[in-house]
Amino acid sequence: MNNYLNSEVYYYFEQIIQKYWDIVYNSSKLQVWVLSVVCCVVIGVSTMFPLFLISFSNNNCLINTDSSSKTLLKYLLSFAVGGLLGDVFLHLLPEASHQLLSTGINARHVQLYLGLWTLIGILCFAFTESFFSHIHKHNQQSDGSVNHCCNTDDQHITNDGICKTKCAGSSEAYKVNIMGYLNLLANAFDNLTHGVAVGASFLVSIKMGFLTTFAIAIHEIPHEIADFAILIKSGFNKWQAVRAQASIAGVTVFGCLLILLADSTDAIDIQTVWILPFTSGGFLYISLVSILPELLSEANFDHSIKQTLFIIIGVSVMAFVNLIAD
């Protein structure tokens, strides 16, 4: 029995070694692998783009208290809402619908599939935020630290017992950090689909791979600006936000390697298409539940009008980018 198992294991590993030995010596396959990974890295580098456009405070405060910085941040958050909504309704859901219809599934079933996974995404993100919020409040009550953090003139306790600081350095940071981490989670799923798309495109042809990379890179630039604003609002400083986005960008390479290992474009159909509506649900929750209510509470009418315009600009930019990508 042991000899039989040993022979089976030996045969399995022999097949794996032979497969990747062939890849190394087959120049066309090696080229596909190298170009796919390099293009995924290029897409990840786009996370640095917001640094060239946005400059917040030079100190380590998580959110600057300067009024102009707060106004700029709200405009960027408005752009983020528009960008996320545009991404959901003009890119993610239409792309998922196209992939499902191409497999021959009934249109009615496609609608049900997309709606179900979008709702699952919304509920999962809502449950996750609620779960970690309750854990944090329980920990505060257990160690009695809720009211002891506010001991300077720059701090005060809100009606719900949470300590706020002008530099957002205490427990308010955790309260808003949940939104940032949820956004990173949604982006991880989004980047996974990007990697799968790049790898699958290069398996079809080198030209198709480059076109897909260009389309995704163009699409990611406004998206990264929106993500950057959300992370800043969530308590990250500028460099922490960029590092967080760069780390999540590594998921793109992971998705690419998965499809290359499968060595088949069939793997991007039913097996992965659920990720698109699930991610859409996450983006909808972040934009409409975590960000938009704060924007709607704006007391200044002029600022409200400008924020609405930035939402429209965010949607318009995503629409324009999708037209270019097509």
The answer to whether position 151 is within a domain reads no
Cα–Cα distance between 289 and 292 in angstroms, integer?
A: 6
219 vs 97, higher pLDDT: 97
Is pLDDT at 310 greater than 90 in this prediction?
Answer: yes
37 inside domain: yes
The structure tokens listed for 96 are: 């998922």
Confidence (pLDDT) at 34: 87
pLDDT in tens, 31-59: 888 888 899 988 888 767 666 665 544 44
At 138 the pLDDT is 59
The phi and psi torsions of 58 (rounded to 5 degrees) equal -85, -10
The pLDDT assigned to 106 comes to 82
Give the residue from 206, 233, 271 showing the smallest Cα distance to 77: 233
Tell whether 299 is covered by a domain: yes
The chain-wide mean pLDDT, for the chain, equals 75
- Does residue 91 carry a pLDDT above 60? yes
Phi-psi region of 168 (alpha: psi -120 to 50; beta: other; left: phi over 0): left
- Please enumerate in sequence order all residues whose Cβ is within 8 A of that of 298, keeping only pairs 6 or more positions apart, or say none: 74, 304, 307
Task: Band the pLDDT of 63: cuts 50, 70, 90.
Answer: very low
Could you tell me the two tokens for 45? Answer: 């580098």
Answer yes or no: are the C-beta atoms of 93 and 276 closer than 8 Å.
yes
Domain count along the chain: 1
pLDDT tens per residue across span 171-202: 444 444 678 888 898 989 888 888 888 888 88
Select the more confidently predicted residue: 286 or 237.
286
Q: Considering the domain boundaries, does residue 297 fall inside one?
A: yes
Percent of the chain with pLDDT over 90: 15
- The residue-averaged pLDDT of 134-146 equals 58
**pLDDT exceeds 60 at position 170:** no
Q: Does a structural domain hold residue 263? A: yes
- The answer to whether residue 172 is domain-embedded is no
Give the pTM.
Answer: 0.71
Element (H, E) at 197: helix 171-204
DSSP secondary structure letter of residue 63: S
Neighbouring C-alpha atoms within 13 Å toward the C-beta of 209: 24
Position 279 pLDDT exceeds 50: yes
Residue 8: exposed, middle, or buried by beta-carbon count in 10 A (0-12, 13-18, 19+)?
Answer: exposed
Q: Which domain holds residue 313?
A: 30-129+177-325
DSSP-derived letter for residue 289 is: I
Residue 116 neighbours by CB distance under 10 Å: 14
- 266: Cα within 13 Å, side-chain hemisphere: 3
Whether residue 143 lies inside any domain: the answer is no
Sign, CA torsion 231/232/234/239: positive
Reported as a pLDDT band with limits 50, 70 and 90, residue 233 is: confident
How far apart, in whole angstroms, are the C-alpha atoms of residue 192 and residue 185? Answer: 11
Over residues 135-141, the mean pLDDT reads 61
pLDDT at 53: 61
Q: What is the DSSP letter of 105?
A: -
Question: Would you say residue 209 lies in a domain?
Answer: yes
Instruction: Categorise residue 235: left if φ over 0, alpha if ψ from -120 to 50, beta otherwise.
Output: left
158: its two tokens: 């809100």
Gap between the terminal Cα atoms of the chain: 58
Q: pLDDT band for position 305 (50/70/90)?
A: very high
Per-residue model confidence (pLDDT) at position 151:
39
